[in-house]
Amino acid sequence: MIVYRQHARVLVQGMTGKQGSFWTEKMLACGTNVVAGVNPKRAGERHLGLPVYATAREAMAGTPFDWAVMFIPPAAARDAALDAIEAGARTVVILTEHIPARDVIAIHHAAAGHGTRIIGPNTAGIVTPGDGFVGIMPGHNGNIFQPGEVGVISRSGSLGTLICLNLTRAGIGQSAFLGIGGDPMIGTTTRDALEALDRDEATRAVVMVGEIGGAMEEEAAAYAAGMSKPVVSFIAGRASPPGKKMGHAGAIVSGAFGSYAGKRRALEAAGVAVADTPGEIPHLLRSALGAPRDAAQAVPLHA
């Protein structure tokens, strides 16, 4: 499960901490179905009106959940993720960055064995305007997110926020925002997210925000070539020099591998319109959907 729906029950690991408390309040305020939290030092208490458990396994027994989201420091992330996976979480959203590589490998291995979807590590989370959000994206802010028919995929939370802000200002709502994360070993790839939005009945078109480095955009392009829904893309890092890491751990170019030019060629060959700047995306979307470039309300992209 990649697209969050309000019927899905959410467990917050680390809910009683400063960040966990802040974002849990925001999630609850916009309708996210948060049902419980985890903090072994405060087990048996209630926080923000919700029960707190010592472990995810105890939470599953007392207050069943479908999704888990982790406000957990790097050193403890492996144990927290394994706890949620072994408890039976269908989806685990790992916000934490700088998790040791061996721990990330262990998390993915366990998830594969239990049939758990991992989103992240180093993700900002998932937003479904009108249903809620899971993570640290400003899904509660109506100036940035509005219900609609355009799905957005991004490694970067900040760049994804900018894209959604531009869409909302242009009168284009979003069916979902999928933040896949910036770790080199993420559990959900750009192609995975693209396939999910292709299947999603609420999504009419897709914006794919990529970055230099790796081959995720090229792999997604191969899938996009067979899609009936239009896909528009923006690739960050066009001016970055080869061999220099830019932002995320995976955003590094070695020779021609993972280059901006290579990604753009692959996407355009697949029929994906590629924007030179984020500000061009609303215009490209309207063009792909058969609407005039300057007609803000010509196509009913709000739900």
Q: How many CA atoms lie within 13 A of 164 on its CB side?
A: 34
Q: What is the pLDDT of residue 296?
A: 44
Residue 299 confidence (pLDDT): 43
Residue 124 lies in a domain: no
Any residues with CB less than 8 A from the CB of 123 and at least 6 apart, and which? 93, 94, 95, 135, 157, 179, 180, 181, 182, 186
Structural domain contains residue 297: no
75 and 175 share one domain: no
Main-chain phi, psi angles of 241, to 5 degrees: -75, 150
> For residue 240, what is the domain's CATH number?
3.40.50.261
Q: What is the pLDDT of residue 246?
A: 53
The verdict on 180 and 251 lying in the same domain is yes
- Specify the number of domains making up the chain: 2
2 falls within a domain: no
Regarding whether 23 and 71 lie in a shared domain, the answer is yes
211/83 same-domain check = no
Residues 166 and 283 in one domain: yes
Q: Is residue 126 part of a domain?
A: no
Residue 251 is predicted with a pLDDT of 52
Q: Which of 69, 88, 119 is the last residue of a domain?
A: 119
Statement to judge: residues 81 and 214 lie in one domain: no
Q: Is residue 298 part of a domain?
A: no
Question: What angle is formed at CA 191 by the lines to CA 187 and CA 197, rounded to 5 degrees?
Answer: 105
Tell me, yes or no, whether 95 and 155 share the same domain.
no
Q: Nearest to residue 236, comparing CAs of 169, 182, 174? A: 182
Residue 48: C-alpha distances to residues 8, 9, 18, 25, 88 (Å): 19, 16, 12, 7, 24
pLDDT of residue 36: 98
pLDDT per residue over 188-219, tens digit each?
A: 999 999 999 999 999 999 999 999 988 999 99
Same domain? 100 vs 170: no
Alpha-carbon distance 175 to 303, whole Å? 8
pLDDT at 301: 54
User: Residue 294 falls within a domain, yes or no?
Assistant: no
Q: Is residue 92 located within the same domain as residue 180? A: no
Tell me: do 247 and 147 sit in the same domain.
yes
Residues of the chain with pLDDT under 50: 253-255, 292-300, 303
Size of the chain, expressed as the number of residues it contains:
303
Three-class DSSP category at 45: coil
Catalytic site positions: 248
- pLDDT value at position 247? 55
Q: Do the domain assignments include residue 108?
A: yes
Asked if 122 and 183 count as a contact pair (C-beta separation under 8 A), the reply is: yes
What is the rounded CA–CA span in Å between residue 225 and residue 268? 9
CB atoms within 10 A of CB 31: 16
Supply the CATH number for residue 35's domain. 3.40.50.720
| Residue-range definition of the domain harbouring residue 98 | 10-119
Query: Quick one: 16 and 94 in the same domain?
Result: yes
Domain final residue, candidates 60, 86, 119: 119
> What pLDDT was estimated at residue 300?
46
Q: Are strands 205-211 and 231-236 parallel, antiparallel or unpaired?
A: parallel
What is the predicted pLDDT for the residue at 295? 44
Does some domain include residue 303?
Answer: no
The residue type found at 191 is R
